[in-house]
Structures are given as structure tokens and as C-alpha cells.
Structure 1
């Protein structure tokens, strides 16, 4: 649900504040504020406003949030205190509510009233329909032993593709999706006989942090994701939402970028934003059991820490991890964040070495009160664990105890000999796999499955397409 964004009209006030509820559920909501300074430059700032009775602040980001009675204060962080004339800054929070989830009507910036030179005029923001928890074609899944099953107990395999774009376009200021996500392009995926689409996400874009273009952030981003989920389900496929790029500065071994922002794959999630990201995603989709969550694309704390034991402990428990300069959110933290919302959706958890190493996954498996955890694994022809002997020794024991999903399979050869081997091994054991990726890139650098969003395959994509079409159902 999105409530009207309250903005000022007429003469410019000293400051303007846009307030929106980007997501709402039975007992809580996610809110966002965008503050614009219309006076002289500020070296620090503090926004104050009142929440209604029954509304209680839980946590926030991009500001130091506090609440006393009904009064809420959002003070700048050390990195965003400077606010030039005409500049804007955004921040967000999670809160609980009961009774009426009223919108604040009065805001002050450093004690000066905002939005006061004209009557605020509500501008409704269109919303997408709520996800249908059971549309009759897409199964609500849960874990039973080492299988994913539907409500009738029938085993279901997740077979399909990744749809990349949502993790990088927004942070690069280029949009939300890479290529079309209209009905025709989503139907083209289903025409390959796919039953699952994995959708990579960006935590800064979802949370609407200030470094992201507002056109591609917050409610706009969330609504775009909800719309794609609706389209995927309308074509009879399971939506799999996955956190790909996240916040936190890492410049150590195998660093993908030196940027603190969510502009590349980081070795581990961060405590500052990732639990809030997953709480928000979970609250958005917790009433839709057809949606599956994938905690974190490709962890690689093993590249930063001194020992394998340290890496697995960092992976599960987070905290201060050697070689990683920010406070890490462990997989247990993220499971707890999701389950704390009441969401019982299945959760996939990838291992070390960019999700290619599951050798100690069972030993360090997070605890899940819902009993709905599955193991995620990624493999390309250039990975360490890319041989059947490795799969037999490290994957088979995991697959014997929990569902195993190969969230990404692929090769950089513009052919499909390697993925053919992977699919056969997984078929023989009734396991799940998803090809990387449904994008029109160079298949030797992507690797990409298609040359056109009508489903025209690359030489590599032909292998996945023809194989999926050969399967029953």
C-alpha cells in the first residue's frame, strides 16, 4: 500500500518534506521521507514530526532515528549532514501501528516548519494490486524433508531462468530493469517451459536510500518488483526474489568494487541495511506463499578471512569478521529478520565461494523456526566445484537432507556442454536449477541465454531451452 505523498504547492517554503508509506501490513509499515532544503546551506540537520497514537518507530536508515512519546526525530548521519541550498536527502524507517495508520501533517527541519507556504495537496500514487496468495496455477511451496512440495504434498522442482537487471540498473541511474518486462517478454520465458524466475534485487534501491535516483528507488522500485512478480505468476511461474547487490565498503581480496554503495557483489551482507531490507521484502510478500526468498546472491567471506572456520562462522553469525571492514549480517540474522515479520516463505541460503562451496553448509545451517530452509548453489564451468566428483562428495550429502536449488548455472563458452552435464546430474536426483541469464548480452561474457526478448536463444541458451521443453509438465 502507498499512501498519498504530501507535498507543498505554491510559493517555496523554507523546506519541503515528502512522506510516503512504501509498504504496509497488518501490524506495521515502512515509511520514507525526502527532505529538501530551500534556504542557506546546512552543516547538520534534524527532522522532527509526530506519529499518531498507536504508531511506534522500530528502526531506520540514512538517519539517526529516535522517538519520545509521539515525537520522532531523524538526525543526520556523519556522512550526510551537509545539505546545500536546494539539495535533498532521503531516509527511511520501519514502524508498527494499530488503530489508524495516519500520515503526519507537520514537519520541522532544525526547528523551522516545512511545507507551510501553501496547503499540502495530496497526490495519490498508483499502487499495484496485492499479490494473490493462491491463483490456482502457481503453487504455494514449503519444505518437506529434502523436497519442496505444494499444498497437496506433491514434489515441485524450481526450473527456469534468472532475469537480471533489478540489481544494477537503478544504482547506475539507468532505470529499474534491463530490457522489457512486459507481458510478452515474461510469457516468452514461460514458453521455454520454465516454471520459476529468479529476480535479483538491490537493497539501496528497495530502501530508497539517498544516493539512488528517486525515480528508481523506494516506492517506485518496490512497485516495479511487485508488478513483475504479478506478471511472473500470471504466466504460471514461481517468483524467486534474491538480494544481489548490497551496501558496505570492501576493498580486500577479490573485491568487485571499492564503492561503499550497492554497486557490486560484496562478500557478505551488512547489519546497517540488509536486515531492514529483508524485513521490508518479507512484509511485502509474507501473505503470498508462492514467493520464494534467496538471502544473498554469492557470499565470499572465505576470500577475506584467514581460515575456513572463520569464514563459515562469519557466514552464519555475522558480526565482526576478519578482513571485512563493516559489521556483517550473518545468514542467521537475515533468517531472523524475515521470520520476525511472520513470513513463512521458503528461504534459500547459498554457501561460501560465491555459493559454489556447500561443504560445511549442514554444519553451519541457520536455525529456522518455520522449518523452511533450502540450500542454494551456483556453478559455472570455471568454478572450483565444477566436476561430478565434487558434486557427489559435497552436494549429494546436502541434497539428502534439504532441498537443493542451483540458483545459477551457466558457462562462458557460448555452448551448452557444461550445463548439459549439470542438468543431467540434477535431473537424476530430482533437484532444481535456473539458467543465468534472460538478458541479451554477449554469451561469452554474460553469459546470456537469449538474443531477443521474444525468447530467441543464443547458442548457449538453446541447451537450456530444449532441455526444459523436453521435461514433463
Structure 2
């Protein structure tokens, strides 16, 4: 850089290809192999060497073509004649190296120039036939491991509208993919919904297909693995297969027939995923649904493999019914993959956690032993069923279902423990994970993480463990003297090292003590840190461990929240709430006879944000229309609000028609 010449190491792209049209008979044919390497690079210039190995019939005269992905220009070369038109480059043999016998290699090189980037070419074409690009072929297990970690480009090309921005995300740019790679991701799952872009005879709209192809090119140019699928079509029309078997199968096969042709030129770093979250309606039961999913997976496999060429050995991803990790759905996919006897297959499931915790219902406020066991049981099942049998697994989506509304459904510390544990356990079970991101995590406009602390724990979990704790909240009641507070640490194989307040290292023995996994914050230290003891967070402490991400403790001053009488409607009912520094964890709802009220009447604890939500800024607690839709008329409902400090406050509401009256208890 800065005008100095430097050697670029490892900038090698190996390419292997079929030199015949993509047909069923072509599957066993071989063709060309290209090795492109940038052997030297400096500001604005570079030297490239290219080796052309003939894997097909002997050649007498050759022309190698490619396109620059980053606007480079080729200059003076040797052992070939190079011509250029825009981004398109053609290197033609010299007189003395026109012949390439089967298995033989010729080499040439050139000087080039670059400005913004010097990305290796995506693909090469030898005498008009595309060579596979994107690196050497790997086994399915190696390929899947190389995809770790992955990221979903959600709510964009999978939107059900006519444009990729219709669900609120900006258009995909090369800068976004640059950022995704810079964040440490090795692969991108590209969900695509095709239904709004199908014409007569299920022909995919040319412009839309070209756009998807452009995004795939951009990702591959950045050395990212790509997983392309059929996405929300699953619940738009594919679920109707029990009643419209032939119609669904015909459309499904038509889409994949077009995709195999459109993406035939792309090499092994592009994988195809059969379809997203298989589901059916109007079936005779689960056995039929399992059979239909297997039929679609088999048809997908057949269409892709019969297209030949690069698709003859492309890695294919097959889902369980509902992409569930339940054994009853895993076993049929194990049987199917083993029956296909194809070494280039990957299984996929999704994981969104133990449901009560994932959405914060039924009192599932904490990432407790039950929620942890759900992670380990799920990952153990897919490991023992697939990985132990040599079948790799991609967790094609993971996250928390509460994120569908907003990321505050789950308390911050509990959320962090979930992601830390999930990443760690997936790694121990050799499962590749792909974070579901619909735009709420990595901000696609600013390029920043909306929750940097969450991302830090996710990223750390890819390689190591982090220490956590039973809680990240230290509550001190304002109306009472401050006392010592003891918190259990989850060391997770780490060693506690020290505790900081900002840049100040706190003193062990005076400010805190450690006994095994018990951290005690002393009353004098908490008093000092709490200052004037205004409601809310007074200080943030950082516990550091021998490895991984530090853990934060929020020192909070609170008093019991105060609720006030209110009136409103079932469409808009707000309880005036003076939170006084506390935070709402969950809410119970019961009738006077002790039975459960509201949605999910099998539990008294209602679902956060679906039935209720706090507004700390405006000072009220909202009860939603969904809540009142499941409340009996003129029956008093006693609400119990549980706050993270441990206090409980009761309140009663009565619905009369669309009117609601609320009173303190």
C-alpha cells in the first residue's frame, strides 16, 4: 500500500468445469480447470498468473474469457494475447501453446490495474464453455464446516411483494455484502420468494431472475458461500399439495428446472436448498405430510442432478418437515438421504429455542435449565441422527421467535445467555449455524449492529465460551438501605479475573468478593456507585473472564411501580404506570374463580407483547386487542404484574362490550 509493492498470499481461485452442455449425459464428463492467482499487488496495480488445465478432449487453439467483478483492467501479458471490452476479457493462445492435450496445462500471465478493489474473477469460460468457479470441491462435511458461520439475508428477496424493498429493507448492495464478510460471516443464506414473479407456465420473470443472479455473483465474488432456496412459496401455495398434488409439484419442478439452468455456471460455493420450512394444510395427518415433503425433496434432487454439468455434484440441502429437530421428523429425512446414496447432500433444521422462553409466555422469562436442555436435546438429536452418520447439518435459521415483534421481548441478559450457549453447543456438535436477520440485527443502512453486545456474544461463541451470570441486573430499593448483593456466575469453563466500573478496576475484598462461582457486591461499593440514587440504572459494571466477552451488571435503583385507574376500549387500553426504575418481566391474568383469562388459557402467564407491553418512555402498560379478544365480557380479570426486581403488583380490568375499566387492587 501507499505505492509500495507487496506480495499477496493466498489469493488463488481454482476452477474446475464441464466442457459440455448441461445435460444428463454430461454428469460424468470433465473439462477445464483454471487456477488464477494474484502473485503481487501494489496500490493501483497487480500481477496475475493463470494456469489452464484441459480435462476434456485435446484442444488445438483456445480462448479463455472472464469478467472483472471489481472494474479492474488487464494490461501487458505474456504467453497469450489479451483483449478487453469493458469488463470482459479474453486471452487467446500464442502460436506455440495453442495445443493442450488432455490433462496438460498451459500458463500465461499479465499486469493489471485496479482502483477500489481487486477481487478475483468469479468464473472463466474456455472456448465458450463455463468452468466451475469458487474454489476447489470439498466433501459435503468439509463444505458445511467451511460455511460456518452463516447469515440470512432475510425479508428482502423473500418478500412477498413485487420488490425486494417491499418489507422495509433497502436494496441489496455490494457494500452490504462487504460488511457481512467483514463481520466474520463465511456464508449467506439467500431466501427467495418466487410466486410474485411467475408468469404463464410458471416462467420466472427475467428481470427478477437476473437480479437474484446478480446478488449471488456479488456474494461469491467476496468468497462467501451461498445457499439459495424457494422460501415463502412454502406457505403461499406449496402447502396446498394435499389438495393440489400435481399442480404444486409441476410448479415446484418448473422453478427448479429454471434455476438449475440459470445457475449452472456457478461453482461449488453455491448450494441449493429444496424449500423453506415445509408445511401443509388439509392433509390426512403427519404421515402424509412427511411423505409429501420427502416427495418434494426427491423431485428437487432429481431435477438438479438430471441437469448435469456443475449441478451433477452441487451440494443440495434437504429440510425436515417444518425444519423441525423433533425425532419424528428427523428420522424420515435420515432414511431419505441414506436411500438417495448421494454424498453431496446436507440436512437442515431451524432452531428458535424453547417456545415459552422464545416468546416469553407461560412464565418463561429466564434461560433456565429447561430452556438450556431444549438446546442440548435438539442439537444432540440432529448430531446423533445425521452428523454421526456422516451427513452434515446446517441450522438454516436460528434466533428467538419473540424477535418477530421486537428484540426487547426477552430480557437482555437472558437473551445473551441463550445465544452464547447456542453458539457453543452447536460448535461442539459440528453444526453450521446461520443467524436469521430480517433487518433488525445488522442495520443495512448504517452498517452497524443494532445490539452490539448481542453480536459480540454471537461472534465470540463461534470460537470460545464466555462467562455469564444468573442475572445482569442488580436492584436496590430506594426506600431501603443498600445491602450486599450476591450473584451466581456461570463460568462456562472460564476463570473470573476482575470487575470494572468504566475504566476503573474495582478492588477485590473491598468492593466485591469471590467465593467459587459466587460474586458478592458489597454494600459500600453499591452505595458509592448508586450516587444520588435516581430511579433507573445508576452504574454499569463489567465482569471480565479469562476468555470470551465481558459480562455487564446494571446497578438499578427502584421502588415498587405504581399503577393508576384507567378507562379505554378493547382496541386501545393503557394503564398509567410509574415504573420507578423497575422493569416488567411478565403478566398473569385470572378470573375470580381462579381460571386463566386471556389468550393461551392453558397458562396464567400471558405472552409478552402479544397480550401486554410496557412503555417506559410514556409511562404506561398496554393491554392489546388480542388480549381482550380472549376475555369474557363483564367478568373481572385480576392481573398480576411481575417485575424484574421481584416485586408484584395487582390490578383488575373488566370488559363490557368494547369498553374497558381498570382499577387498582
TM-score, normalised to structure 2, is: 0.41
* Counterpart among 373, 388, 391 of residue 379 in structure 2: 391
Match of 1:228 in 2: 215
Match of 1:300 in 2: 279
Q: Give, in angstroms, the shift of residue 369 of structure 1.
A: 6.4
CA deviation profile, 1:117-157 (whole Å, cap 9, x unmatched): xxxxxxxxx9999952799995455435xx1349xxxx524
Q: Whose radius of gyration is greater, 1 or 2? A: 2
* Counterpart among 161, 179, 190 of residue 199 in structure 1: 190
CA deviation profile, 1:185-211 (whole Å, cap 9, x unmatched): 111101111010000112235544699
Say whether the 8 Å CA contact 2:396–2:433 is kept in structure 1: yes
* Counterpart among 330, 345, 348 of residue 317 in structure 2: 348
Q: Give, in angstroms, the shift of residue 184 of structure 1.
A: 1.4
CA deviation profile, 1:8-52 (whole Å, cap 9, x unmatched): xxxxxxxxxxxxxxxxx97589xxxxxxxxxxxxxxxxxxxxxxx
Match of 2:139 in 1: 143
Instruction: Give me the whole-angstrom Cα distance separating, in 1, the residues matched to 2:246 and 2:300.
Output: 11
Say whether the 8 Å CA contact 1:440–1:452 is kept in structure 2: no
Say whether the 8 Å CA contact 1:205–1:218 is kept in structure 2: no
Q: Give, in angstroms, the shift of residue 182 of structure 1.
A: 1.5
CA deviation profile, 1:250-272 (whole Å, cap 9, x unmatched): 5899xxxxxx9xxxxxx999213
Say whether the 8 Å CA contact 1:332–1:366 is kept in structure 2: no
Match of 2:457 in 1: 463
Note the residue ranges of structure 1 that are not aligned, 5 or more in a row: 1-24, 30-125, 254-259, 261-266, 318-329, 442-447
| 1:295-374 superposed matches below 5 A | 295-301=274-280, 304-317=282-295, 330-342=296-308, 343=311, 344-357=313-326, 358-360=329-331, 361-365=333-337, 367-368=339-340, 370-374=342-346
Instruction: Give me the whole-angstrom Cα distance separating, in 1, the residues matched to 2:346 and 2:246.
Output: 19
Instruction: Give me the whole-angstrom Cα distance separating, in 1, the residues matched to 2:429 and 2:247.
Output: 31
CA deviation profile, 1:360-401 (whole Å, cap 9, x unmatched): 121233754653111011000245994312332344221212
CA deviation profile, 1:387-438 (whole Å, cap 9, x unmatched): 312332344221212011111011136334323222111211332110001x
Say whether the 8 Å CA contact 2:187–2:225 is kept in structure 1: yes
Residue 150 of structure 2 is aligned to residue 160 of structure 1 = yes
Instruction: Give me the whole-angstrom Cα distance separating, in 2, the residues matched to 1:161 and 1:189.
Output: 8
Equivalent position SS for 1:244: coil
C-alpha spacing 1:397/1:354, structure 2 compared with 1 (3 Å): closer
C-alpha spacing 1:136/1:275, structure 2 compared with 1 (3 Å): closer
Instruction: Give me the whole-angstrom Cα distance separating, in 2, the residues matched to 1:430 and 1:400.
Output: 10
C-alpha spacing 1:417/1:451, structure 2 compared with 1 (3 Å): farther
Say whether the 8 Å CA contact 1:198–1:241 is kept in structure 2: yes
* Counterpart among 272, 277, 294 of residue 255 in structure 2: 277
Instruction: Give me the whole-angstrom Cα distance separating, in 2, the residues matched to 1:136 and 1:338.
Output: 16
Equivalent position SS for 1:233: helix
Say whether the 8 Å CA contact 1:346–1:374 is kept in structure 2: yes
C-alpha spacing 1:192/1:351, structure 2 compared with 1 (3 Å): same
Structure with the larger RCO, 1 or 2 (CA within 8 Å, 6+ apart): 1
Q: Give, in angstroms, the shift of residue 275 of structure 1.
A: 0.9
Equivalent position SS for 1:202: coil
Instruction: Give me the whole-angstrom Cα distance separating, in 2, the residues matched to 1:453 and 1:469.
Output: 27
Instruction: Give me the whole-angstrom Cα distance separating, in 1, the residues matched to 2:350 and 2:255.
Output: 23
Q: Give, in angstroms, the shift of residue 356 of structure 1.
A: 3.9
Match of 1:409 in 2: 398
Say whether the 8 Å CA contact 2:160–2:193 is kept in structure 1: no
Match of 2:435 in 1: 435
| 1:73-92 superposed matches below 5 A | none
Match of 2:418 in 1: 418
Say whether the 8 Å CA contact 2:192–2:232 is kept in structure 1: yes
Instruction: Give me the whole-angstrom Cα distance separating, in 1, the residues matched to 2:463 and 2:378.
Output: 28
Say whether the 8 Å CA contact 2:123–2:134 is kept in structure 1: no
| 1:177-192 superposed matches below 5 A | 178-192=169-183
The structure in which a higher percent of residues are helix is 2
Instruction: Give me the whole-angstrom Cα distance separating, in 1, the residues matched to 2:292 and 2:202.
Output: 28
Match of 2:225 in 1: 238
C-alpha spacing 1:394/1:227, structure 2 compared with 1 (3 Å): closer
Equivalent position SS for 2:220: helix
Q: Give, in angstroms, the shift of residue 281 of structure 1.
A: 1.1
Equivalent position SS for 2:192: strand
C-alpha spacing 1:316/1:198, structure 2 compared with 1 (3 Å): same
Say whether the 8 Å CA contact 2:164–2:171 is kept in structure 1: no
Note the residue ranges of structure 2 that are not aligned, 5 or more in a row: 1-18, 24-85, 90-120, 125-129, 357-372, 408-414, 466-665
Q: Give, in angstroms, the shift of residue 172 of structure 1.
A: 6.5
C-alpha spacing 1:433/1:420, structure 2 compared with 1 (3 Å): same
Instruction: Give me the whole-angstrom Cα distance separating, in 1, the residues matched to 2:422 and 2:246.
Output: 27
Q: Give, in angstroms, the shift of residue 463 of structure 1.
A: 3.1
TM-score, normalised to structure 1, is: 0.55
Q: Give, in angstroms, the shift of residue 177 of structure 1.
A: 9.0
Q: Give, in angstroms, the shift of residue 345 of structure 1.
A: 1.1
Instruction: Give me the whole-angstrom Cα distance separating, in 1, the residues matched to 2:431 and 2:355.
Output: 20
Instruction: Give me the whole-angstrom Cα distance separating, in 1, the residues matched to 2:199 and 2:87.
Output: 17
CA deviation profile, 1:69-115 (whole Å, cap 9, x unmatched): xxxxxxxxxxxxxxxxxxxxxxxxxxxxxxxxxxxxxxxxxxxxxxx
Equivalent position SS for 1:239: strand
Say whether the 8 Å CA contact 1:167–1:245 is kept in structure 2: yes
Instruction: Give me the whole-angstrom Cα distance separating, in 1, the residues matched to 2:167 and 2:307.
Output: 26
Say whether the 8 Å CA contact 1:201–1:245 is kept in structure 2: yes
RMSD (Å), alpha carbons: 4.2
Match of 1:113 in 2: none
Match of 1:33 in 2: none
